[in-house]
Amino acid sequence: MTVEQKARRAEVARENGAQSRGPVSDIGKYISSLNGISTGEHLHLHKEELPECVALLSTDCRSAYLRLYQKHLRQFQPHSALEQSMLRHMCVELFQLERTINLETYARQHGIDETLRAYPDLSDAELQLFSYERGLQKDKLWRSLQRDKKAHQTAYANYLKLLKQLRLDFPVVPPEPINSDADANLAADPLPPPEVVAEILAHADRAKSEPNYELPRWVAEVILNEELMAEIAPGYDVEKLLEILTAATVPLAA
């Protein structure tokens, strides 16, 4: 392009820009302000597979955590992604508090069941008293549970204060759109990481080649799960292993 052509193109662009007034509504202005980070090399910042705050164990009920998170979303209605992050931390602390309470309840019920097996003729009040006396021998356990409960209660309350202060000091008007797709992905059970899959397949290959090899029980449970194997090792031939496992001629290791 010649210098004159470039100058003419720039002038036309300025004229067109002068005719455009841009977004008028508050939400339109907010969306327009995101253009700088929603295109190009920074696009991956908006694509979370999992939220940044996850504290679920393999024994936890993932649906229970999501129900708790949804309750908090309805109650507090976060106005920004930062407020949403604070809300996740609150949910994690409250969920862990409930987990600790469940552990304490299980431990006390276990004590009652042990006492009942030893003394089947005791009344309910006597059962609770005897199990409580036996539980005193586990003083470290009870103190640890109480410390954990207090820590989670305190952390939850502190996050709540921070969320309130954040809204007061840095109000977001209008509220920005909130995306919870990453949180919804928690509903599905997590797949084993690549190193665990490699270990499973190594055990499986060895069981194929060594008839007397004691296949670990946890490996056998994975191999027998057809849906899971289709996810973690599509195309892997498990027919021979299934024959070995169903025949039950090979002992399973713990």
Q: What is the pLDDT of residue 174?
A: 84
Determine contact, residues 69/50, Cβ cutoff 8 Å. Answer: no
Q: What is the pLDDT of residue 112?
A: 85
Specify which residues 216 forms β-bridges with: 253
Q: What is the pTM of this model?
A: 0.62
Specify which residues 215 forms β-bridges with: 252
Q: In this structure, which amino acid lies at residue 207?
A: A
Identify the residue whose tokens are 């090399």. Answer: 41
DSSP state, residue 1: -
Q: What is the pLDDT of residue 62?
A: 86
Q: What is the pLDDT of residue 161?
A: 96
φ, ψ dihedrals at 251, nearest 5°? -70, 150
Q: What is the pLDDT of residue 27?
A: 58
Q: What is the pLDDT of residue 100?
A: 95
- pLDDT of 65-119, one tens digit each? 989 999 999 999 999 988 999 999 999 999 999 999 999 999 888 888 888 888 8
Q: Which residues of the chain have pLDDT under 70?
A: 17-50, 244-254
**Count of alpha carbons within 13 angstroms of residue 54, beta-carbon side:** 17
Tokens standing for residue 35: 């253009």
